[in-house]
Amino acid sequence: MPHANADQSEMGASDRFAALEAEMEAMRTAYREANELLASFVEQSHDLVQSVAPDGTFLFVNRAWRENLGYNAEEVATLHVLDVIDPEWHTVYQACFERILAGEDIVEQELVLRTKTGEHLYVDWNATQRRDGDRIIASQSYLRNTTRRRLAEQALVAERNSLAQRVA
């Protein structure tokens, strides 16, 4: 009879192993699906999404970023973040980037970018840190394109000024 118990014990262990394998595969599938969902969400966002290393190189940009700024993925790999910040806004960007690398979040900071063709792109910039333990390894930013609103506001101010001059 000891032989029968050994067979049952082996079969029990084999069944437990198979159950663990099935559970691990289900967890891998759920993890992969969650990552695919998140990647799809970020890639399909209308907001510009970017991740920038401390040296200013781009680690990631989404489709909206590429489309709004006019760069393809190969070109992005050669860019420094200051290449897409309007030169008049470099100081503002650098001060904020230092704050990010010091652990501070940036919330709705106005910023002006330059497209590949040199056009202004007005954005509200929100940024946090990406960490590896206690070490900050990148900034993670969401930028909302506010160009249409900004241009409409400028046109409204110009119209008010024109009207005020005609009345005076």
Q: What is the CATH number of the domain that holds 157?
A: 3.30.450.20
What confidence tier does 4 reach under pLDDT thresholds 50, 70, 90?
A: low
State whether 64 and 99 are in the same domain: yes
| Dihedral sign from CA coordinates of 71, 75, 80, 86 | negative
CA 54 to chain centre: 15
CA dist 104 and 87 (Å) reads 23
**Are the C-beta atoms of residues 66 and 145 closer than 8 Å to each other?**
no
Q: Is 23 in the same domain as 57?
A: no
At 165, is the pLDDT very low, low, confident or very high (cuts 50, 70, 90)? confident
Mean pLDDT of 16-35: 86
Length of the chain: 168
For residue 14, the model assigns a pLDDT of 85
- pLDDT at 65 > cutoff 90: yes
Same-domain pairing of 82 and 122: yes
* Domains in the chain, number: 2
User: Do residue 111 and residue 60 come from a single domain?
Assistant: yes
* Residue 43 placed within a domain: no
Q: Is the pLDDT of residue 66 over 70?
A: yes
For the beta sheet containing 58-61, the strands, ordered from the edge strand earlier in sequence to the opposite edge, are 58-61, 48-52, 135-145, 120-132, 106-114
Do 78 and 22 lie in a common domain? Answer: no
Both 82 and 30 in a single domain? Answer: no
Residue 2, domain extent: 1-38
Q: What's the pLDDT score for residue 78?
A: 98
In percent, the amount of the chain with pLDDT more than 70 equals 92
